[in-house]
Amino acid sequence: MPLTELGDVTLNYRDRGRGAPLVLAHGLGMDLTVWDALLPLLPAGLRVITYDLRGHGRSSLPDAPCTMGAMVRDAERLLDHLQIRDAMMLGLGLGGMVAQGLAVKRLDQIRALVLSGTAAKLGTPLIWQARADSAGGGMEAVAGETLKRWFAPKAQECDAAETARQMLLAAPPKGYAAGCAAISGTDFYTPVSGLRLPLLGICGTEDRATPPDLVRETVELVPGAGMRLIRRAGHLPCLEQPGEFAALLNGFLSATGHAGGRGLPPKLS
């Protein structure tokens, strides 16, 4: 996996395939491997870029305080480095906030959005400060509490939950805390309401971190946007039910003319 220096940060990324660009941005405490189950299910004719957010995976964490603006700038610089325009960007959780910010800033780079388990604003500063503080004691406690929000009780022992737990345990505590700080200071309701582009929201019905109504509230800021629910899935449907997630994504790719693939246009649900 290549590393590239982009100003104050070094990002780890993968760039695969040729065709219409699809950029995938993972969630808090995750890394680019969260998409591994989804990638083989995508249609041909795509150039897929995955990367580790700053402070996550193999990407660096600069000494300066982490802000959402810095994370958006990272994505912007990476796409400029790769000479990518007119991409579809899929963001999960924290990555979904980055995707919103980049679409607002660079419509030449982003022509369509898929937002999974995310919103224009998440939680309160007190909540995120408490979660950042908890990382100071190591990621074991963070993982235990996080999985309770990400997975329904009956799914706590499933393979997807174990994969998520291992990613959280491997996450750098300082990077996790930095991501909490970035989320804490972000409110994209006003700028996102000005977007005019194809947008699909995806949410698991059992998501306790970003419940469907919260995701829908953001999706409905953009005229013509659609939302789909994945039944019996939590915060990470791309891990729990990659087949159904891929079917929704591939349908949206087809409906927007972004790549080959077959499916129905998204509907509000």
Q: How many CA atoms lie within 13 A of 214 on its CB side?
A: 18
Query: Pairing state of beta strands 199-204 and 87-92?
Result: unpaired
| pLDDT by position in tens, the chain (length 269) | 699 999 999 999 999 999 999 999 999 999 999 999 999 999 999 999 999 999 999 999 998 889 999 999 999 999 999 999 999 999 999 999 999 999 999 999 999 999 999 999 999 999 999 999 999 999 998 999 999 999 998 888 899 999 999 999 999 999 999 999 999 999 999 999 999 999 999 999 999 999 999 999 999 999 999 999 999 999 999 999 999 999 999 999 999 999 754 433 344 33
Stated pTM of the model: 0.95
Secondary structure of 80-115 in the HEC alphabet? HHCCCCCEEEEEECHHHHHHHHHHHHCCCCEEEEEE
pLDDT given at position 156: 87
Domain ranges within the chain, ordered by starting residue: 3-255
CA 142, CA 134: separation in Å to the nearest integer? 6
Q: Is the dihedral of CA 149, 150, 153, 159 positive or negative?
A: negative
pLDDT given at position 154: 87
Contact 2, 15 (CB under 8 A): yes
Token pair of 165 as six digits? 């737990």
Query: What CATH number is given for 3-255 in this structure?
Result: 3.40.50.1820
